[in-house]
Structures are given as structure tokens and as C-alpha cells.
A and B are shown apart, each in its own frame.
Chain A
Amino acid sequence: MTARTMFRASIAVGEREVPVRMYAAAQDARIHFRLLHAEDLQPVEQTMVDPRTDEPVDAASMQRGIEVEPGVFVAFTKEELDQLAPATERTMEVEGFLDRDTVDPAWFDRPYYLGPDGPDAEYAAFATALANRHRVAIVRFAMRKKNYVGAVLAEGGNLVLMTLHPAEDIAIASRLEEDEGARKSVDPKQVALAEQLIATLEADFDPAAYEDEHRARLEALLERKREGKPIPRPRRGKAPAPADDLADALRKSLHHAKEKRSA
């Protein structure tokens, strides 16, 4: 099966170039709900209104703009926005290499595969070198009138590109300064118990066994409704109450976990 190439580019590392083709690595596959008007079960539309009057504003008289300071807005013309839009940049210039463990997952936006474009000797060597050094390449490029910062990493001999969220959109600093109180208030004996519990519950990652279970329940619910069967009355979920004695709760948990494991 061949997938659609979204973009062709070339990763530039020093004087070496790795030509690549970009493919989407994620797809939307959920059960979808539509929002409906309760009265006539028509799918709703979205519309932009003037908040003072609730009057819809037609597309032709809308403008795009930003708030420069509280309560002050500047609108842009289409020409101005076109001028600001970056030209396509097919050279993914590598800015440098970051240790893989220091990459914060909160930066990740969308995943892509980068496949070789043409002969793959350089591609294979670059992927191997990235894996050997446990690093990711930070690249910048522009695609479809938008600038991107990305992280290129090796996975099973292939290259993966994660596009990264712009700094402005990330609500926490990735390196927090830990306050002293935090360390002090942790009891070493409890930590030892918690560590044992984690070790007992250690497993290999098994992607989403439960997800399918939820989907199956949802399908079953939809089926009952289609057949007009009664729907079981909702039970309210009850969350467990926090334990008074943390160490005691840990000890009991450990006991249960070990029993389960040996069973």
C-alpha cells in the first residue's frame, strides 16, 4: 500500500542532505457524535455573532485580526496576511541535536513518517546515527504558508517527524524549579513502599486493550437504542475516598498486587 506524500523536503545536516517524503502517521478513527438541535434533531451549524447583539455576521464583512493590548484590536487585510505568510521552505535545516530524554511530550503536536526520497543510503545512515546517539534533530521548515519547528527521531530504522507546538501555546514551563518543601515532605519509608508497588505492577506497554472494550460497550448501547430496548438506569460512579494512613494503604496495596501476580 502506498500512502499519499504530503510534502517533499530535504534534511540538511552540515553539508549532508537527506531527501525525504512526508506521510501522516496518525488518523482520526473514533466513533463520532454530532451535536443536534434537541427539537428537530438537525445537526447544528456554527456561526459567528456580534456578542453585543447576537446578530450573525456574514463572512464577507468579517476580518481577521489580533488583540494587541486588552480591548485594542488590529485587523489585517488579506494582502497583509499573504505577505506575512512564509514561502515554502523544503530544506529542513537541522539546528542541533537534543538528548531524546529531554524532549518534553507536551511539545508534540502531530506525528509524521519521513521516508527516503530516492536512494536511501544517506537516509539509513542518518537514522542509525540518531539511534546510536539517542538524540533527536531539531529542524525548521515552512509548509503550506506556515512555519514549523520539528523533532526528527529514529524509530526501528525509519525517521519520524514530530511537529512541535509553538512556545506561545504551551501553558507551563518545561523545566519547573522544584520547591524545597516538596522534597522534604516526602517520607522515605513511603517512597520505598511506593517503589515496590510500582515494581510489582511493572508491565510491557499494551496499547489500549481497554479502548476496544469501551467501544464495544458503546456499540452495544447504540444497538439497544436502535431496537428500542430499555436502557439500564445509570448508576452513579463512586470514587474511592482518600486513605488516612498512606503507609498502611501502600502496604495493603503491595500485598494485593503480589497476591494477584502469583495467582
Chain B
Amino acid sequence: MPERSSRALWSGVLSFGLVSIPVELHSVVRPSPIRMRMLGPDGTPLRRRYRCPRHERLLEPDDIVRGHAEEDGSFLVVTDEELEALDPKRTREIDLKSFVPREQLSPRLFDRAYVLLPGGQSAKAYRLLAHTLETADRVGIASFVMRDRAYTIAISAQQGLLRAETLRDASEVREPADVGLDDAPTRADRERVVAFERLIDAMPLERVDLHDGSTEALLALAQEKQARGEAFRVDAPESDESDDPAQSVVDLMQLLKERLAISDADAPAASRPRKGPVHASPRATHPSKAAPDRGALEHLTRQQLYERAQALDLPGRSKMSKAELVDALADQESPPQSRTG
């Protein structure tokens, strides 16, 4: 089944000395599948379009140009080509010129998070850099140009994967003094510090649950309404903001495993058969080790089923209906005989 792939926001080369690593940049943060949308009177999800107020008509991408707002209220048109010509090298290349200790980067600087996926035929150099950055515990700093602006980017590695974070520049961050805080605050009272340290030691956390409960509450209300028959069935194809690149991030994890699997070959990957589907390691957080029967699966919501499918990396899951998810999970969770693992 063809998997709809995550769309790269930028692709080019990551340079480490004379070593060039073809990479694609993919967003890590994207809107949740269960998120508030604007619907029409009959429940059809609406699409966001650009419109010219003077001509009173919708515009296609080709009808739109970029303009810089001038002081007199007019606009100066700037084309993509002109922007690219400002710095052609950095439009195509992320050149890692310096490496810094991680603790020098304040969390305040981190803007958006991305992963870098190997983009070429071999991921050997990718793996080498990821491995080395991780053991050296260093962050590579570079600047590059994406669409209409330059970014400073921090490249780090975690479990064999290259991660990238765009950083806010000096004009985008405020220093403590800007908000009236002291740069060298009051010396703390020793006894009070010890009391807080005891509390800190008494409340260690291993992991954080980033759910804030709002999606669950929304879904519960929706399901209640659905049960009362207050739901719209819509035949329109995927229609809501389908131009949004974030929307097409369907299966980043799957894509990632495939890309990394390419490089298992020592020989040029092109001549080797592609490694089969990667089921190798169901993640540590596998929701249920015991194989549940179909009945149990049928009582779950689509979202719960989807999350299980995600943990098992079932291909094509995002397009599956609830019934299809139940089928696929029942097959997976009570395997017939032989599944290579």
C-alpha cells in the first residue's frame, strides 16, 4: 500500500568539513489529527484560500507574489529567484562550521524543531555524523536559507537520528533586563535552598506526559454527540488545508526507518535490493503486550486504535477506517506464525 509521505520543507546538503551529506528537513511539530477545524453548515471541512479583495476572486499560487511593505504604503515585489540569489550557497547547503557544548544554548533560543533525514543513496556519512555528535555531546551550528529568510540552526543527534532546531536570533529574544529582571539576582538564603533541594530530590520524574487533557475532552464530547446521531458524514476528499505541508506529515517515523534502512548496505545502495518493511523494534511504549481479541479492539475509539497502529508502525494506518484498523491490529497483535522481528 503506498504510504503518503511526509513532505520535506527543505532539501540540500549538510556539510561537515569536506563531507557532504544529502538531507531533507522535516517538521517534528505538526497539528494533531484531532484538531479544531472550520466546517461549513453541512459539516464539510472548509479550505483556506487566498483572495484578492479588489478583484473579489480566489487566487491560484501563480497569481501571488511576495512584497516588502514600504514606508509610503506601497509594496516592493521580491521574487523567489532574487531571494535565492542573495545567498545561493546557503539556500542549498547547511555548512557546519562550529560545534558548541549543548549547555551554551539557552532553551529560550529554540524556535522550531525538525529532523534531518538522509536524502541520498547512502546514509553512511549521515550515520557517522549522528554517531559522532552523540558521543561527543556537541551541537553543530550553521546558518542556512529556507524560503524567504536565513536561519541559525542547531544540529544535534539522538539515537542515531539527526535533529535540527532553528534558533531565535538576538533581535527575537528578550534579555532579563528587557523585562525588568535582575541579571544578578538576590543571593539565596542557604536554609531555603536546602529545603527546595530536598523537595526536588523527593519528586524525581523519569518521563513527562505531554497530554494536557484537552484533546481527550474534545474527543469525548464529539463521541457523545456522534452516539446521539449528531455527526456529519462527508464524502469530500481530504479537503481541509491540504496545501499545508504539516498536513502531509503522515508517517514520519515510518519514513525515517526506511531511510535509515537504506544505508545498512556497505556497497552502494542503488545496486542492492531494498530492505523489506521494517518491523524490527516495536517501541518501548507498546501499549499492550498481550494479544487482545477482536472484541476488545472493537471497543476502542479510532484514535486509540490509531495510536496502537502507530506503536506497531502499521503502514497505511492514517487512511484506515476504524474497521480496517481493527482488522489490521487483530492480525498484528495475534500473529499467525512467522513474523521476522
Contact = CB atoms under 8 A, between A and B. Distances in A.
B47 A49 contact: yes
A191 to B, nearest CB: 5
Given A73-B232, A194-B132, A197-B16, 9 more contacts: A14-B202, A34-B67, A49-B47, A84-B218, A156-B183, A168-B211, A205-B105, A225-B78, A241-B20
B340 interface: no
A64 to B, nearest CB: 5
A210 B143 contact: yes
A156 B10 CA distance: 36
B212 A41 contact: no
Nearest to B58: A54
Contacts of A8: none
Tell me what chain A mostly uses at the interface: helix, strand, loop, or mixed.
mixed
A43 B216 CA distance: 39
Given A46-B50, A175-B159, A125 B208 contact: no
A35 interface: yes
A176 B63 contact: no
A263 interface: no
Contact of A122 (B91, B192, B210): B192
A106 B28 contact: yes
Interface string B290-316: 000000000000100000000000000
A156 B106 CA distance: 11
Contacts of A233: 85
Contact of A160 (B108, B115, B185, B208): B108
Interface in B167-222: 167-174, 176-189, 192-197, 199-205, 207-215, 217-219, 221-222
A262 interface: no
A10 B156 CA distance: 34
B18 A96 contact: no
Interface in B1-58: 6, 12-13, 15-22, 26-41, 43-55, 58
Contacts of A225: 76, 78
A25 B174 contact: yes
A203 B193 contact: no
Interface residues of A, number: 169
Given A73-B232, A234-B85, A97 B55 contact: no
Interface string A183-197: 101110011001101
Interface residues of B, number: 198
A51 B99 contact: no
Contact of B49 (A36, A41, A54): A54
A87 interface: no
A157 B78 CA distance: 45
Contact of B302 (A69, A74, A98, A178): A69
B217 A64 contact: no
User: What 6 A-B pairs come out closest when comparing CB atoms?
Assistant: A253-B17, A237-B88, A168-B32, A125-B192, A96-B205, A234-B85
A243 B321 CA distance: 46
Contact of A106 (B105, B113, B133, B169): B113
B335 interface: no
A208 B51 contact: no
